[in-house]
Structure 1
Amino acid sequence: MQILQFTDKGIYCPAGNFFIDPWQPVERAVITHAHSDHARYGSKHYLCHKDSVPLLLLRLGQDISIQGVEFGETIRYNGVSISLHPAGHVIGSAQVRVQQDNEVWVVSGDYKTENDGLSGQFEPVPCNTFITECTFGLPIYNWQPQNIIFNNIRQWIYNNQQAGKNSVLLGYSLGKAQRLLYHLRDTTEQIWAHGAIYITNQLLRQQGWPLPDLQRITPDTPASAYKNNLVIGPPSAADTTWMRRFNTYSLGVCSGWMQVRGHMRRRNADAGFVLSDHADWNGLLQAVKATGAEQVYTTHGFSSAFARYLTENGIPAQEVKTAYGDMDEEPAETTSPHNNEEGL
């Protein structure tokens, strides 16, 4: 049974008359998480996990109609059952389970299988058909345990302090920034942040998330304030006037793309840390097999290669083209008039 269809507006359930992560405005949108390539402005009503509600209100505007639910809670639209399950990608991220009669489809959204301490543990959901991302769907992408990566970042910060340099790390304002702040909160006396990261951090702190208090960087912040402290900004700040305020600094980029030699050089970075909020090759394979799916659709990233590998190994799979981003985490914030990723 074809419960879900791939349309020019997104993944559509005809029987339930709803879309999952639509990339055009629709009547009813079920949202996996608050990144801008999955949650777009203009739909009449949004359904998401309760932890994504404040993030969507921040990014899409306070005037949207939105409903938040718990993991495992069942919602029914025209006889079709919907429930959300942990994806482990970023705070509030969810997979969408859709059931009609005895047929079950699961849309993964974006996910990672290592628990980062904030986003929850990815939960494989048994299904007949699994729609999976495969941003890093090649065997070369294999992540080290995050405790090793953060130990490397701490050593880098220490070395910079000894050399009298500021440590500037770039990571997306939703997801990567929270992981950095949570795991590096005791590395320096103060942590300074770009406005986009500061605003998201303050919102999540208000919701009770265990994140450190930040100092917001403004045009009036003296250069001496950053000395020996950690600075966190979004990737969009690279090669902008925002970076010029830090005098002598070392720039570190946190991204799964740092696995491939040459990406760090292209980003003009002094250090590259292979830290991703997406599953690596082994994580993708483990997730697919754990669902027991008889059919798999692959989206964004190395979708063609991953589908071919699955098919050659006994799991029927095919690639589906979508409007979701192919970047490591989150594309530039351009989908809502309420976003201000560049702002101080």
Structure 2
Amino acid sequence: MSADMVIVRREGLYCVPGQFYIDPWRPVERAVITHAHGDHARGGHQHYLAAAAGVNVLKSRLGPVNITGLAYGERVVHNGVTVSLHPAGHVLGSAQVRMEYRGEVWVASGDYKVEPDRTCTPFEPVRCDTFITESTFGLPIYRWQPQQEIFDDINAWWAANAAQGRSSVLLGYSFGKAQRILSGLDAGIGPIICHGAVQNLNQVYRDEGVWLPPSVMVGEVAKSEAGRAIVLAPPSAAGSPWIKRFGDFSDGFASGWMQLRGARRRRGVDRGFVLSDHADWPGLLSAIAATGAQRVIVTHGSIAVLVRWLQQQGLQASGFDTEYGDDEAEDAPAERAAAAPAAHAAPPLVAADMPPPATPPAAPHMAPAARTAPPTTAPPADEGEEDRHA
């Protein structure tokens, strides 16, 4: 049996033959970044490689870093390892990392979801021998409604509040979640006000060609119009002087954690909307099945439950101890605590929980030429994360 292509070091996930890291949590020479959330994209690396669609997001959050953008499906060869990036469907520019060395293929998923949305390239199954997957919502209780139903609920809540002259304040992570919500809003109901952390990223999305309805900063809306507005803000804005200017508003929180009983009460909000940029339980299982991998390594989330289920299906499964966190809620201590007992008391996992294996997808298109990664010369950069884990 050959040595593992990817291992865990104190700096992060390390591709041994390629001599580079994937989403490292300590400064390294070469880092391949799956997406720009703060637990995966950190400052201080000498050189970054990321999907071209996510380069401007990374720059907006990390500052002037030395970064190379790679088109989805394009190949580079580094120390004999062929590397390509493939859509993860998580947020703008999110990517899975495909590594091929001496006929063996590993894929590191980063964070992903399988339901397509209007703001990023949909998840692409990539055939591999070993699949390194997240498991943020890796419990059978997590099963998402179609996103359009959630958008309809948000718009109905907003319209009802607007009819009473109350602003609707909706809290959600400023990168990815906020833009996804924005894409589903009915701008005919009233003004769409965005917190500065959200509005700055809206512009990055628009610059990348993603259509979003018009949105404004709070100072651009007449006070008489604010009562018909919906306000998109990060969770860190809750209780702040900035948010109190909206007076007697109704507030909501958008997160996959809202699936848990009591999550809305713990957050102290009027409404909870179950909307996640991560795969739910069926999504995780279908994504894993579509890879055709016989070995699966789980990096973060409900590791033990997913590993046990996969082992029951005859797969070789284990976990990696990583420092990846949760971008679904601002540090989400209460939600994690509520979910933890379920992990230990989960019901027996049976074959009925698993969707039929997906038809193996066609091999992804690869560019005919390969090139080596550029040298690493840039100085370290600070992380610059305003609302990490929001």
Give yes or no for TM over 0.5: yes
Does structure 1 residue 338 correspond to structure 2 residue 384? yes
Which amino acid letter does the alignment assign opposite residue 319 of structure 1?
Answer: G
Does structure 1 residue 85 correspond to structure 2 residue 86? yes
Structure 1 runs, 4 residues or longer, greater than 4 Å off: 220-223, 329-332
Local SS of the residue matching 1:168: strand
Provide the residue aligned with 2:18 in structure 1: 16
Does structure 1 residue 213 correspond to structure 2 residue 259? no
Q: Does the aligned pair in 1 maintain the 2:108–2:131 contact within 8 Å?
A: yes
Local SS of the residue matching 1:246: coil
Provide the residue aligned with 1:72 in structure 2: 73
Question: Can you list the C-alpha shifts for 1:81-132, whole angstroms capped at 9, x where unaligned?
Answer: 0000110000100000001011100000000000012212111111110000
Provide the residue aligned with 1:129 in structure 2: 130
Provide the residue aligned with 1:156 in structure 2: 157
Which amino acid letter does the alignment assign opposite residue 242 of structure 1?
Answer: W
Question: Can you list the C-alpha shifts for 1:267-306, whole angstroms capped at 9, x where unaligned?
Answer: 1110000000000000000011111111111111111111
User: Distance between the aligned counterparts of 2:382 and 2:212, measured in 1?
Assistant: 26
TM-aligned CA deviation for residue 326 of structure 1: 3.2
Which structure 2 residue ranges, 5 or more long, are not aligned? 333-380
Provide closer, same or farther for how the CA distance between residues 258 and 301 of structure 1 changes in structure 2, counting only shifts above 3 A: same
TM-aligned CA deviation for residue 239 of structure 1: 2.4
Provide the residue aligned with 2:269 in structure 1: 269
TM-score (norm 1): 0.94
Q: Does the aligned pair in 2 maintain the 1:37–1:330 contact within 8 Å?
A: no
Local SS of the residue matching 2:143: coil
Provide the residue aligned with 1:39 in structure 2: 41
TM-aligned CA deviation for residue 228 of structure 1: 0.6
Which amino acid letter does the alignment assign opposite residue 241 of structure 1?
Answer: P
User: Distance between the aligned counterparts of 2:6 and 2:186, measured in 1?
Assistant: 43
Local SS of the residue matching 1:258: helix
User: Distance between the aligned counterparts of 1:51 and 1:331, measured in 2?
Assistant: 27
Higher relative contact order (CA 8 A, sep 6+): 2
Identity score, percent? 51
Provide closer, same or farther for how the CA distance between residues 143 and 337 of structure 1 changes in structure 2, counting only shifts above 3 A: closer
TM-aligned CA deviation for residue 13 of structure 1: 1.1
User: Distance between the aligned counterparts of 1:163 and 1:247, measured in 2?
Assistant: 13
Provide the residue aligned with 2:307 in structure 1: 307
Of 36, 51, 54, which residue of structure 2 is paired with 1:52?
A: 54
Question: Can you list the C-alpha shifts for 1:109-165, whole angstroms capped at 9, x where unaligned?
Answer: 000000012212111111110000000000000000111111111111111112221
Local SS of the residue matching 1:296: strand
Provide the residue aligned with 1:291 in structure 2: 291
TM-score (norm 2): 0.83
Provide closer, same or farther for how the CA distance between residues 175 and 108 of structure 1 changes in structure 2, counting only shifts above 3 A: same
CA RMSD, aligned part only? 1.8
TM-aligned CA deviation for residue 73 of structure 1: 0.3
Provide closer, same or farther for how the CA distance between residues 34 and 149 of structure 1 changes in structure 2, counting only shifts above 3 A: same
Counting matched residue pairs gives 338
Which amino acid letter does the alignment assign opposite residue 69 of structure 1?
Answer: L
Moved more, 22-31 or 323-332: 323-332
TM-aligned CA deviation for residue 185 of structure 1: 4.7
Local SS of the residue matching 2:190: coil
Provide closer, same or farther for how the CA distance between residues 179 and 320 of structure 1 changes in structure 2, counting only shifts above 3 A: same
Q: Does the aligned pair in 2 maintain the 1:83–1:96 contact within 8 Å?
A: yes
Which structure 1 residue ranges, 5 or more long, are not aligned? none
